[in-house]
Structure 1
Amino acid sequence: MIHELGRRQHVVRSAGCALDALREISQAPPDAVILDLGLPDLDGSEALRMVRGISDVPVIVATARDDESEIVRLLRAGADDYLVKPFSGDHLSARLDAVLRRARSAPEPRTLQVGGLVVDVDRRAAALDGGPLALTRREFDLLAYLAARADRVVSRKELLAEVWQLTYGDDQTIDVHLSWLRRKLGESAARPRYLHTVRGVGFMLSAPQ
């Protein structure tokens, strides 16, 4: 993996265990982290939570398990993306380039308001009815993108391309993040207030009527 990334002009630093990796991240923050869950000293999910405790760096998790509960667990723990072993160097490089593009893109300074929902894109802060919302980086990106297109239906394909910077992917990733976002907005798919599903088309953010 190191050889493949180096061949694609990435500068790679490796760590043999979670504690060494955490020390590296805290002392010399990287542009992105590829976290193999098969660590000798810590459970992979625990290591991921510790990374999230010290850095907002994009994290791609490499896992041997390809099942829904594992994917949800990793995303909930703070992963930005995941890869199921075995994977090719091309696949890894494409995923890494995607998270790096997203992390490096500077948001336009502006504040968006949809009903009682206020999204400050420049400060990366959001509030609902005056109360701050505790959002992950991906949740904020998703909310800001939808808020900038309020009252317009946005397709899954567009969300993957613009929020995740992917040309293809698992719809489940979008569904999981939307579910978390709805919960923080105090609503559900069955009883939406701001986030509406347009069956077979996509999603729309709009002010409550």
Structure 2
Amino acid sequence: MRKLWWLFALIFLLLGCSVHTEPSPTGTISDQTSLRENLNQIVKRQLDREPLSFSIILEDHSDYRFVGEQKGADWTLKSEGTDEPIKLTKKGDQIELVQSDNREKLSQRQLGLISPRDHLILLQEAAGRIKPIPATEEGIEGMEIILDKGKIGQIVEQQMGSQETAREVALNASRKIQVRYHLWYRTRDRELTRMEIHLDSTNPSSEKRVRYIFRNP
């Protein structure tokens, strides 16, 4: 089951290392400004919510669902549908992984980005091109965000420190991968209902998706 957590870590490593050429922003400057204002409103609303309840679904492991709750920078995550229960807890700088009777201390570098707060702050700080995407539900709007590679590169350098080997592995793995965020939110109050992280590969069998569902009022 540890391989599930490495997928989360891989997402973080790949964010700053993609070598794909991003398309130029579509629409006018005012369109981008409006979308960015919407994004900031969505992020602020979620960051102000405590506690924030959510579920995580990994596309390749659809039988596994992780149910979590976040309070500030601290969070808990529990598995559903696994043979052996998994619980992950972050409190302060301490992260603990419990699987059956086994306990293990982990670092933020080992796990990468897991909590919604981490992803939302990343979007707020490093959003590049933004465009609207269609939603299938009435009263729901969507947007796609591709992150600014320069800013993400700086974040990766700070997180990985002197781990040159890890950076090189991430770079090699990301040469055929692009990362996109999809957000769906309520039109009337900018309440986020779903977030998806897409890892798009030139090899369709290698494409990944992680879905966050928010249990908000």
Instruction: Answer whether TM exceeds 0.5 for this pair.
Output: no
TM range (shorter): under 0.3
Larger relative contact order (CA 8 Å, sep ≥ 6): 2
Greater share of residues in strand: 2
Which structure carries more helix by proportion?
1
Normalised TM-score (structure 2): 0.24
